[in-house]
Amino acid sequence: MRDQQTRPIFRTSKLEDADGPGLNPTRTPTMGEIIAARFSRRGFLKGSMAVTAISATVSPIALLSATDAQASPASAFTFPEVTADVDADHHVAPGYDADVLLRWGDKVFADAPDFDPLNQSEAAQERQFGYNNDFVGFIPLGGADDRGLLVVNHEYTNDHLMFPGIVTITDGEIAVSEADETRVGIEMAAHGGTIIEIRKVDGKWQPVLDGALNRRITARTAMELTGPAAGHARLQTVADPSGRAVMGTINNCAGGVTPWGTWIMAEENIHGYFMGTLPEGHPEAANYERLGIPEATYAWGRFHERFDVSKDPNEANRFGWIVEVDVMDPASTPKKRTALGRFKHEGAESVVARDGRVVFYLGDDERFDYVYKFVTAGAYNPNNRAANMDLLDDGTLYVARFHDDGRVEWLPLVHGQGPLTAANGFSSQADVLIETRRAADLLEATPMDRPEDIQPNPVTGRAYVMLTNNTRRDEANAANPRVENAFGHIIEIIEADGDFTATTGTWEILVKCGDPKIAEVGATFSTETTVNGWFGMPDNAAVDSDGRLWVSTDGNSMGDTGRTDGLWAVDTEGAARGTSRLFYRVPVGAEMCGPCITRDMTTFFVAVQHPGDGGEDWEGHGRPSYYEDLSTRWPDFDDAMPVRPAVVAITKQGGGRIG
């Protein structure tokens, strides 16, 4: 996801401003250096090959495994591609329908007020679909995939697209007026998430507004801190001396659905919600600096002291966690599961290992930060949902170290082991989890290029790490020639013996992203990838029931790549490995989020986030976009309506499996 610093006023398409502040102070070799060393050891791309077009277009794995690949089947995908481009609308592959299911402001309850963009209120927004839908999950109700609960994260708000009359332009420069308390209340209500029942009627999905399980979660929803850090003094505040009760969740980016049918909300860029200055010599100073707190992007601290660190120094420690929600009980209290660590969480996708334990893969979305996984201590019980409800309070959190010989090692973040001792400021496991980043620094984990979604594949026993980009990496070499990794890449992890709980494994590069026809970019899509098929900035991912990988992106634009973000199908096996094709693309200015495919593979739910947030580089607009002068009015295309983030349901015309 885009760095929170740039969000609330105007998104910038300049990648150097979009990939996070980069706060890791360690000197551990970066992933770029490790990739270079690895392929240097293999003797790959030496000599004249390094400067040929082959070095920019052919996957290293395809070259290294050519004999096996020749005997393998062709692409697992057969749909005709959509054309890569930029315009005001969304587009899906021929033969498919892309229907808007839920938009910002739509009713979540039968008695909710109709959306009125000129008369918004906090009370109305609390009963309407929130803003900037990110993660999307589907939890079936019954045996078939024609009825279920849609769970959706609402990550953040874009004031300049939401509210009329707040933007001024002077000499071509734009500014947003200071938020008042009313606007802040609407923003807080537009955050969080939505649970809503949906069902298929005559082949098309529609919300069930009188669904008994429908629910809105916001920045004011009461929540409980659980696990090893719960109750610790560093989580205690004046309002909550217990250190166990916290109000709300913020910046919920990607997420997950557990095998037992609960919803995971990941708290990502929390730093932008806090303002003020810690008291001189406060013990949390280094901890907060490592997370970029405070950033003061939002004005919430002006009206709610808990978001002002000078007045409530511990409140920020109560954010940056994984939140679990029991969707089957609308009166349940969501739980912040501290055992999974505190950092800028991008998702928590899970898989049941062969011994029954559950493994969650976690990315920390910051330049030069880390890849994690959490392994539950207890085993999943498919016959007793209640027995699984606290599995996330006990287990081991690991951080990844990638070696240049192709090994990956999972290092346990356990108090008392290695440097994680009182001598280094960790008096308990609670300290390790509150300062997960610093603990991982001391373990010399591998700094990565913005780890976002990490998607385990239960069919193949592998996991795919989306690394969006890192424009501030400055190492260059023949095997990894990009001085600045502007377009990102995807790492494939192969756990030892196919066991997701393993503490060792191997890794490969699936693709390095960008335009393959530009040799200096160094992209490695297969030669079968068309002009429409390549992409940059991988972000979220999904694996369908056949084990096929789908990748959505964040950062493509007319200025950066000449195309919008979208959803691409990527082959991971055989001769077609590294081949990508475009299935769906979003309107100008939008980010593609939340790809979620049903078990029967007949519906793909996707989230279109911040449409219209940009347009300066697109000839169809050519200037900044804001409420009164939007680059698109998707999805309504009604002059009385602003642009609206929305969830889209994609189905095959006439029915059938997708892809």
Segment 643-650 shows an average pLDDT of 98
pLDDT at residue 40, as a whole number: 52
Rounded to 10 degrees, the C-alpha dihedral 567/563/84/521 comes to -90
Segment 357-365 shows an average pLDDT of 97
Question: What is the token pair recorded at 79?
Answer: 């749909």
Helix/strand/coil (H, E, C) string of 97-111?
EEEEEEECCCECCCC
Q: Which of 28-42, 168-182, 476-490 has the lowest mean pLDDT?
A: 28-42
Q: How far is CA 491 from the centre of its chain?
A: 16
Q: Which residue has the tokens 């007949």?
A: 602
pLDDT tens by residue, 216-260: 999 999 999 999 999 999 999 999 999 999 999 999 999 999 999
Q: What b/e string do you get for 193-214 counting C-beta neighbours within 10 Å, with b at 16 or more?
A: bbbbbbebeeeebebbeebeeb
* Burial bucket for residue 547 (CB in 10 Å: 0-12, 13-18, 19+): middle
pLDDT tens by residue, 535-578: 999 999 999 999 999 999 999 999 889 999 999 999 999 999 99
The residues that bridge with 325 in the sheet, in sequence order, are 263
How far is the C-alpha of 62 from the C-alpha of 488, rounded, in Å?
Answer: 19
Q: Which residue has the tokens 């039968």?
A: 110
Q: Which of 74-78, 143-147, 218-222, 469-473 has the lowest mean pLDDT?
A: 469-473
Amino acid sitting at position 514: G
The residues that bridge with 570 in the sheet, in sequence order, are 549, 580
Is residue 514 pLDDT above 80, yes or no? Answer: yes
How far is the C-alpha of 633 from the C-alpha of 642, rounded, in Å?
Answer: 6
The closest alpha carbon to 601, from 475, 459, 432, belongs to: 459
Other C-beta atoms closer than 10 Å to the C-beta of 22 total: 18
State which H helix or E strand residue 493 sits in.
Answer: strand 489-495
Q: Residues near 350 by Cβ (< 8 Å), separated by ≥ 6?
A: 256, 258, 259, 264, 358, 359, 360, 361, 456
As a whole number of Å, the CA-based R_g of the chain is 23
pLDDT at residue 540, as a whole number: 97
The residues that bridge with 648 in the sheet, in sequence order, are 100, 606
State which H helix or E strand residue 618 sits in.
Answer: none
Q: Is residue 537 a contact partner of residue 468, using CB atoms and an 8 Å limit? A: yes
Average pLDDT of the chain is: 90
Question: What is the token pair recorded at 313?
Answer: 């120094």
pLDDT tens by residue, 398-445: 999 999 889 999 999 999 999 999 999 999 999 999 999 999 999 999
How far is the C-alpha of 348 from the C-alpha of 264, rounded, in Å?
Answer: 7
The closest alpha carbon to 540, from 596, 462, 458, 611, belongs to: 596
pLDDT at residue 31, as a whole number: 55
- pLDDT higher at 609 or 53: 609
- pLDDT higher at 62 or 616: 616
Quick one: how many helices (H) and strands (E) in the chain?
Answer: 10, 33
Phi-psi region of 22 (alpha: psi -120 to 50; beta: other; left: phi over 0): left
Segment 124-135 shows an average pLDDT of 98
